[in-house]
Structure 1
């Protein structure tokens, strides 16, 4: 499984720099000079993967600017617009803290009520401005959005999530 660590938003200047929207908690390491990045072109551009060597990296107005080997013109840099920089999920570990998880570590975990009743499986973790949500697919195919807060999700382990939902959050509405 691939994780996105950044996305090329646009070009910067005329010498081939690209503006990158950072999607990693460790940009200094992931985008360090000398690092080889795996990039996937947008679907409309074919979705092909290529490797890019970082030759320079700097912050500018809250965004990361990268120079990549072989990308020396604005036109060439503009061809990278929408490219996703990826890493293999197996290369990432949330560490020893029992209360910290990466999204990919939660996706696919079974979810049950604190009384043991199965609810479904985490499909995705959604990060919204108000709060994070767990998108859980139930055995009958419905998707249930569960606020990822301690009051509703009291237990998260490496292999299971327990929830204590208020009435009506998980159960379908009956007419």
Structure 2
């Protein structure tokens, strides 16, 4: 299982990046994707910007997008000069969850894991997935139990698998970590 890091889900929107600065003088914006690599925005017609103050998201038609190093440069309708672009610095960029590109069969978006219950092969509930950490060695899932203890579980197919109920509607994680990782023994 490979996790593609998206930000938090806010209703029907998923955070995908942050505006880091204006690009040029014609209103273009430089976006640093949360995924670490630019997502494919081809075919997207609309992006949402989340105000820092926590107000409602603002929809902007997407006019153009191009890759630049590890970032994206986007052009939004109604943002026509550097001053307008500067006013959008540090805004979170989101898109409708249904607009995320399809993934390979063993991949999953982070927002799909957040809040899932995690169980051992013996059926013991470990807790809920609350966070995701990128480390130099490998990514980790943060799982918090009912006593508020945190467990850091390496994201590795040997240690975890995504499972679904009989109807395929609700998902959960099956954990098979090395002995001692979950505090047992």
Task: Bin the TM-score by the shorter chain.
Answer: 0.7 to 0.9
> Residues 1-175 of structure 1: matches in 2 within 5 Å?
1=11, 2-23=13-34, 26-29=39-42, 32=44, 35-43=45-53, 47-89=55-97, 92=100, 97=105, 99-153=106-160, 155-158=161-164, 159-171=171-183
Aligned residues: 166
- Shift in alpha-carbon separation, 1:94–1:123, aligned structure 2, 3 A: farther
SS in 1 for 2:66: strand
TM-score by length of 2: 0.76
The worse-fitting range, judged by mean Cα deviation, of 159-168 and 130-139 is: 159-168
Q: Structure 2 vs 1, CA of residues 157 and 29 (structure 1 numbering), >3 Å: closer, same or farther?
A: farther
Question: Unpaired segments of 5 or more residues in structure 2?
Answer: 1-10, 165-170
The DSSP-based 3-state class of the residue aligned with 1:105 is helix
Change in Cα spacing, 1:27 to 1:6, as seen in structure 2 (3 Å) is farther
Residue by residue over 1:9-55, the C-alpha shift from the partner in whole angstroms, topping out at 9 and shown as x without a partner, is 1011112111011246642336x4xx121111224xx5452121222
TM-score by length of 1: 0.80
Quote the Cα distance in structure 2 between the aligned partners of 1:165 and 1:79.
47
Q: Which has the larger radius of gyration?
A: 1
Q: 1:18 to 1:114 in 2, by over 3 A?
A: same
State the shift of 1:131 in Å: 1.0
* Structure 1, unaligned runs of 5 or more: none
Runs of 4+ with deviation above 6 angstroms = none
Give the Cα separation in 1 of the matches to 2:123 and 2:83. Answer: 57
Contact map agreement 1:56 1:68 (CA 8 A) in 2: yes
Q: Give the match for residue 4 of structure 2.
A: none
